[in-house]
Amino acid sequence: MENTQKAIKSFKDLLVYQNSYKAMLIVAEKVLPKLPDSEKYDLRDQLSRSSKAIPRLIAEGYGKRHQKAGFQKYLDDAMGECNEIIVSLEQCKDIYKLDENLIKELVDLYDMTGRQLYKLSMAWSKFKRQQS
């Protein structure tokens, strides 16, 4: 059986990073501009911060992957941000009636990202235990 997986040489090679970056761009381009000015310091600000935080946390954590708990902490934080974004996106849909299809696409993408982060976290824990 041929191994088609690409070697991971950088955080940019992680599919979860790629997905979270793609989702961040969609939020910035298609959701944030549609929120009213009254949400400038609340929902808009929170969505902006959370969506940007996930790829940043993955990148920063990857840089600390040699530490026993370093990478793990950043993955856990990124999972929390995914959950927060899902709630914020659903609020956008329910309060401001934003495009249901767009919100569903983003919720699905962040849900998948959260699951990818969890799987990476579990695999990393197992890997680090084997290294000890």
Tell me the pTM. Answer: 0.90
**Structural domain boundaries in the chain:** 13-29+41-131
pLDDT recorded at residue 69: 80
Task: State mean pLDDT over 54-75.
Answer: 91
Q: Which amino acid type is present at position 116? A: Q
- For domain 13-29+41-131, is the CATH number 2.60.120.680? no
pLDDT digit string, tens, across residues 46-60: 999 999 999 999 999
Contact 102, 30 (CB under 8 A): yes
Q: H-helix or E-strand containing 52? A: helix 43-63
Q: Which residues lie closer than 8 Å to 86 by C-beta, 6 or more apart? A: 107, 110, 111, 114
Q: Which amino acid type is present at position 89? A: L
126: confidence class by pLDDT, cuts 50, 70, 90:
confident
Q: H-helix or E-strand containing 121? A: helix 100-131
